[in-house]
Structure 1
Amino acid sequence: MVFFALFLMMLGNGIIIPVFPYYVKSMGASAFQLGLLLTVYALCQFIFAPIWGRYSDKVGRKPLLMLGITGYAVSFILYGLAHAIWLLFVARIAGGILSAAVMPTAMAYIGDVTTEEKRGSGMGLMGASMGLGMVMGPALGGILSGISFTFPFFFAAGLAIVNVITIFIFLKESLTPEERMQQQVEVTDDSGISSILGELRTPLVQFFIMLFLASVAHSMNEATYALFMQNKIGMGAKEAGWAFMVAGIVMVILQGVLVGKMINRLGEKKTIVIGLSAMAVGLALLLYSFNIITAIIFLAVFCCGMGLIRPATSSAVSKGAANQGRSLGAMQGFDSLGRVVGPAFGGFLLDLNWSYAYIGAVIVALLAVICFKAYDRHHSRAAGC
């Protein structure tokens, strides 16, 4: 049931992805302002994801999932009603605060109901469910934008409301009252940022820093892809929708079929390194797109990388966590912190030069590989001393 809820959530998100940059641009916004809209959303998630994740350890997963998806509905409605850029910022802040509850809680739910041996496959299926929503959403959003730029937002809000009702009726809570009581005893009441900083003192720091850098590179592409391709090859909202649909298909196949097997055979760390390498290659190739077909193919290569990184990281953190909600919330916080930096940085570089954003994203992706491998080498030497 949680997989279906994530599918509906990403279907709604996917609907607005190809429309949002053009909608914002229609209000006179620059690439940098578009980046700031993405940044303020991610900043709210950075602050609140660890809080919601830790809170789900205390009160259960189901109430937090309902709260988070309600946040999506509220923000989508506000997008559709907005008539100025400042109202979009209000919508992004409200949506960022509430929707931050979804991902750490969903990952913790999967961690609750799977064994360690099945954890990688469970996280992969979670990614595949979200990817399936991304297959259908962008193409649907591109079609719905033909009615108006605002209609896709109201349609996505309706899906979110249906999702909340479905969770309330059908989803079973994964934590027993006894487990929630135990978590209330064990989990401290520090702030979200303190929780994130506290996780830096654990062995999981290697995954958090890597995910932060990967998220910076990913969000630089997310913030600039549509505008970059519009300038380079004349891509519009409908074509962007098809591009993200193909990328979603790649993610579904990769995460639904391959990623669990790769994690079981190679381990989380090797899977992550392969994913980071594919992401860097895809970003570099996007610079050389010369028509719609190449823009779609190169985006798919990039998405192969992200399709490996996130489930492998979630699996590793879930296995190594003392409190899943807290650690996965902190992981989501580092992911969000990358999305705080990436969009504004990418938009700024794009305003300077159309190629600078992707050159910068390639450098950040390579830095993630270097830092991830350097951590292992450092600790291998320390263990040998």
Structure 2
Amino acid sequence: MVRNLKSSVLVVVILAIFADMLMYGLVVPFLPVHAESLGATQSEIGLLFASYALALFMATPLFGALSDRVGRKKLLVSGLIALAATTLIYAFATSFWVLVLARLLQGLAAAIPWTAGLALLADVFPKEERGRAMGLAMSGQAAGVLLGPPIGGCLYEAGGYHFL
């Protein structure tokens, strides 16, 4: 029973981190082109990229503390829903500033699966197994970064930016 729980939690966290990085990788290669089509300057495109990191940086400690109060599982599910919603905002952004808002919200939403997911692993795995579990969870990040851009490229070629 305990082994099944640990395996299930590990798979869910790997998939959550993978989903975050996949969504990130699907869109990021095409952001400069889309931002330019909305009239953005190169400086504004730099701001667009920085907005994700800024929101992630600010939100991570907040969601870490919140996961202690409300529970990791609820927060993890909420974070995945929020990531899906931010992807929709990208698709329908008709102005540069809505695109910046989408990036800020994506950074905010990304902080949730990272903090709640890794904390959940720390809760479920004993100290002796934690490093292995965290390493496996981080493979979700690598897989998302690896697969996002080529899949995004295929989708972009098939239907343009809004098809991502």
Distance in 2 of aligned mates of 1:61 and 1:35: 33
Residues 1:123 and 1:76: Cα distance change in structure 2 (over 3 Å)? same
- Higher CA-based Rg: 1
| Aligned residue pair count | 152
Find the partner of 2:160 among 137, 148, 171: 148
Q: Over residues 66-89 of structure 1, what are the superposed CA-to-partner deviations in whole Å (9 max), with x where a residue is unaligned? A: 222222122111111111111112
**Amino acid across the alignment from 2:140:** S
Which residue is 1:121 aligned to? 132
**Amino acid across the alignment from 1:126:** A
Find the partner of 2:46 among 31, 35, 51: 35
Which residue is 1:95 aligned to? 106
Q: Sequence identity of aligned pairs in percent?
A: 36
- Tell me the CA shift for residue 144 of structure 1: 0.7
**Amino acid across the alignment from 1:97:** L
Which residue is 2:93 aligned to? 82
CA RMSD of superposed structures (Å): 1.8
* Higher normalized helix content (fraction of residues): 2
Which residue is 2:8 aligned to? none
- Tell me the CA shift for residue 142 of structure 1: 0.6
**Amino acid across the alignment from 2:118:** M
Which residue is 1:227 aligned to? none
Residues 1:13 and 1:93: Cα distance change in structure 2 (over 3 Å)? closer
Alignment of 1:110-259 (within 5 A): 110-146=121-157, 147-152=159-164
Distance in 2 of aligned mates of 1:97 and 1:129: 19
Q: Which blocks of at least 5 consecutive residues in structure 2 are unaligned? A: 1-11
Distance in 1 of aligned mates of 2:109 and 2:19: 17
Distance in 1 of aligned mates of 2:104 and 2:25: 19
Q: Are 2:29 and 1:18 equivalent residues in the alignment?
A: yes
**Amino acid across the alignment from 1:150:** H
- Tell me the CA shift for residue 117 of structure 1: 2.5
Please tell me whether the aligned partners of residues 61 and 105 of structure 1 are also in contact (alpha carbons under 8 angstroms): yes
- Name the TM-score, length of structure 2 as normaliser: 0.82
Distance in 2 of aligned mates of 1:4 and 1:36: 29
Residues 1:9 and 1:90: Cα distance change in structure 2 (over 3 Å)? closer
Q: Over residues 17-40 of structure 1, what are the superposed CA-to-partner deviations in whole Å (9 max), with x where a residue is unaligned? A: 222222222223233211211222
Does the residue aligned with 1:83 lie in a helix, a strand or coil? coil
Distance in 1 of aligned mates of 2:38 and 2:147: 27
Find the partner of 2:55 among 29, 37, 44: 44
Which is worse superposed, 125-134 or 40-49?
Answer: 40-49
- Name the TM-score, length of structure 1 as normaliser: 0.37
Please tell me whether the aligned partners of residues 72 and 95 of structure 1 are also in contact (alpha carbons under 8 angstroms): yes
Which residue is 2:120 aligned to? 109
Q: Which blocks of at least 5 consecutive residues in structure 1 are unaligned? A: 153-385
Distance in 2 of aligned mates of 1:96 and 1:115: 30
Distance in 2 of aligned mates of 1:121 and 1:32: 41
